[in-house]
Structure 1
Amino acid sequence: MIIRRYLVKQVIETSLVVIALLTLIMMGGRLIKYFGIAAQGRLDASILFSIVGYRLPEFLTLILPLGFFIGLMLVFGRLYIDHEMAVLNSSGISRNHLARLLLPLTIAFLALQMILMVWVSPWGLRQYEQLSSTQAVRTGFDLVRPKEFVSSGVYTIYASDLSEDRKNLKDIVFYQRAEKEGKPNVVILAREATRVEIPNDPASVVDLIDGRRYELYPGQPRYTQAEFQRYRLRIENNKEEDVTGTQAEAMRISQLWEKRQDPVIESELGWRVFVPFAMIVALMLAVALSEVNPRQGRYYRLLPAILIFASLIVALMAIKTRITRAELGIWAYPAVLFTYAIVTLFFLRKPNLTAKLNLKLNK
């Protein structure tokens, strides 16, 4: 149908422009943040764009629904402003019929959103975490600057000089803060340090030459001391036993299903399964909220509509937090979506209700 092709083309073009702008704004701000971290010596500048690329699918899972909704609002608003909606209505085509014509496109966006949330975004997060984990254990030696202290997690490193290939350090001071109560802080002083390359080993391994190792117990008047001619130091991340929200976001859908009894896993599983259906609610809200008088302009209801749709996303995020704390069940996701859908459907079946309410309020 000609009308369907016309609407689909308009919605796709407008939505893509909005999504591109939102992505540019969000990723630009994140890139500036990473540049600041790299300037402080806490991040290798060569991996900046890799980090941004891996995080992009995660951001798109939030940008895509909002961009699609704004695109719908702009297209339907223009139909009213240019009197095209009046022509369509006089031809027997209502706004609800137009919504049905756009349903296949909405399902396509829903499928794209589900692919992003179920497969692409977790994969990007896994790659990002692997890159960050490697960077965290290597940052101290890879990014050390002469005569400056460089901190990375529980580690702090100082070197008076280093070679151009960053494999040999001179006059090393290494400090490791105790992560558990009762454990000692470790301080190592060495004349020289040499990087040891071990294939497929994410840890940073260094041979220290001619130095001393101290164990200091916080709050206690005791310490231990040992001298060495050569000491191999291995720095690696400690793995947490409990599953955190960030770890759950990076897990495969099959892993989530196997551990679905865990509240954190349950919240992430429901988030991936039900949130894509916000696309259907976006179509219904756009049809219900986009009606404007030509004198009012196409942007008259855009901001209130964005706030209403944003409230849906915020409600879903709040539910995710509550499920993580075992305060709600996974049923809360579809409950919120159905609530918004039913209220919107009520306004769609009563097209004059909004105008009557506004008239009463103005009186």
Structure 2
Amino acid sequence: MILFRYLTREVLLTMSAVAGILLLVIMGSRFIRYFSDAAEGDFPVTILGSLMVYHLPGFMELILPLAFFLGILLAYGQLYMNSEITVMVACGMSPGRLLKVTLLPASAVAVVVGVCSLWLTPAGALQTAATIEEQESRLDVSVLAPGRFQEFGGGRTAYIKDFSRDGTEMQEVLIHEHHQPGDDGTHDYVTRASSGYQETRMETGSRFLVLNDGERYGVTPGQRNAERLTFERYTLRLGLSRDRQELDSMEYATTAALWRNDDDRAQAQWQWRAGLPLMVFVLAIMAQPLSRVNPRQGRFAKLLPAVFLYVAYLSLLLAAVDAVGSGAWASTLGIWPVHGVFLVLGLLLIWRSQRKGMR
């Protein structure tokens, strides 16, 4: 029990450090991308925190297997360097027992990865897509920046010269609306106003942009004729605040819905989600023999080959998912042969390590 707690603590502490670094790098990269989009006016800065939280399960389901794999390699490699495992072997710790000790924390990590991949990640992806879709489908004063042409949902482009001191009224507003052929009228509309503000009618939830003292032009590309309308007050409907567009995608579907769906893409997505917890156990089996190093070699001697092995594992899984989704590979066979190949490889590495002896 003492050895179990000691080994588990070493592996989990190392895994936590690796996972923290990887999560910081990945989330930092995604945050910079979203911050750049917010600076361009695609959505308000205030929703950045929510978007990062929604992405967290998707990051964790990919980071934790790799972090646990590296945690075993680094922790056990250090124990080999200090000859601590040599002492454990002398006290009766067999390779099989060491493997059992390794698989116990692997079970806890697999549960966390399974919760993320099967439930939290699809829900977070749906929330992220819905939030961005809602922001892109409406024109909001809070995301407009003076002196810029900014695109919004509905084929609109807006430009404002400046805001009033209290930030509630826009000055010198220019809005271009593009209507695709087949809509009610094929005109492009350009609206110019000296000022404008946004209002929401609470009884209906409708949002409007109210423009004052301006002109509205309707033109058809390729024709010389144009319509001109002058107004003192013009109201442009932007959309419903409470509207939420439904998103239909395999990525956002629940795991139960994917299980019942016989479509190849649905089966590929389901097998990918279910295979991530299994991947934790396979990596744990491969990591134990790979962590065995000679004290003269250093604890990082087998780290690079192990990383290449992980990259090959993940790449083959992604290729199998694409093949199943496109119908090139039978969904009944699925991605499970890839897990089986690396499981057999891990067992062969353990057998080879046992044959050499743990000296």
Q: Same fold (TM over 0.5)?
A: yes
Query: Structure 1: any 5+ residue segments left out of the alignment?
Result: 356-363
Q: What TM-score do the two structures reach when normalised by structure 2?
A: 0.84
Query: Structure 2: any 5+ residue segments left out of the alignment?
Result: none
Q: Which residue of 1 aligns with 2:238?
A: 234
CA distance in 2 between partners of 1:155 and 1:106 (Å): 51
In the TM superposition, residue 74 of structure 1 has moved relative to its aligned partner by: 0.8
Cα shift readout 1:49-107 (whole Å, capped 9, x = no counterpart):
22222211111111111001100111111121111222222333233320112222211
Q: Which residue of 2 aligns with 1:18?
A: 18
* 108-117 vs 86-95, which moves further: 86-95
Q: Does 1:271 align with 2:280?
A: no
Q: How does 1:43-192 map to 2 (within 5 A)?
A: 43-138=43-138, 141-152=141-152, 154-164=155-165, 166-178=167-179, 185-192=188-195
CA distance in 2 between partners of 1:252 and 1:346 (Å): 37
Contact 2:169 2:195 in 1 (8 A): yes
Alignment-mate amino acid for residue 65 of structure 1: P
Q: How does 1:215-294 map to 2 (within 5 A)?
A: 215-218=218-221, 220-221=222-223, 225=227, 227=229, 229=231, 230-235=234-239, 243=248, 247-258=249-260, 260-294=261-295
CA distance in 2 between partners of 1:337 and 1:92 (Å): 32
CA distance in 2 between partners of 1:239 and 1:306 (Å): 43
Q: Secondary structure at 1:332's aligned position in 2? A: coil
Cα shift readout 1:269-305 (whole Å, capped 9, x = no counterpart):
2211122210011111101211111100001111210
Q: 1:197 aligns with which of 184, 190, 200?
A: 200
Contact 2:61 2:276 in 1 (8 A): no
With over 3 angstroms needed to count, the CA separation of the structure-2 counterparts of 1:270 and 1:146, relative to structure 1, is same
Contact 2:169 2:196 in 1 (8 A): yes
Contact 2:130 2:244 in 1 (8 A): no
In the TM superposition, residue 211 of structure 1 has moved relative to its aligned partner by: 4.7
In the TM superposition, residue 314 of structure 1 has moved relative to its aligned partner by: 2.0
Contact 1:209 1:228 in 2 (8 A): no
Q: Does 1:30 align with 2:23?
A: no
Q: Secondary structure at 1:296's aligned position in 2? A: coil
Cα shift readout 1:319-354 (whole Å, capped 9, x = no counterpart):
223333232244332111011101221222222789
| Matched residue count | 350
In the TM superposition, residue 217 of structure 1 has moved relative to its aligned partner by: 4.7
Q: Aligned Cα RMSD in Å? A: 3.2
Alignment-mate amino acid for residue 291 of structure 2: S
CA distance in 1 between partners of 2:19 and 2:343 (Å): 24
CA distance in 2 between partners of 1:232 and 1:165 (Å): 22
CA distance in 2 between partners of 1:180 and 1:348 (Å): 66
Contact 1:188 1:214 in 2 (8 A): yes
CA distance in 2 between partners of 1:207 and 1:135 (Å): 19
CA distance in 2 between partners of 1:354 and 1:60 (Å): 36
Q: 1:347 aligns with which of 319, 335, 349?
A: 349
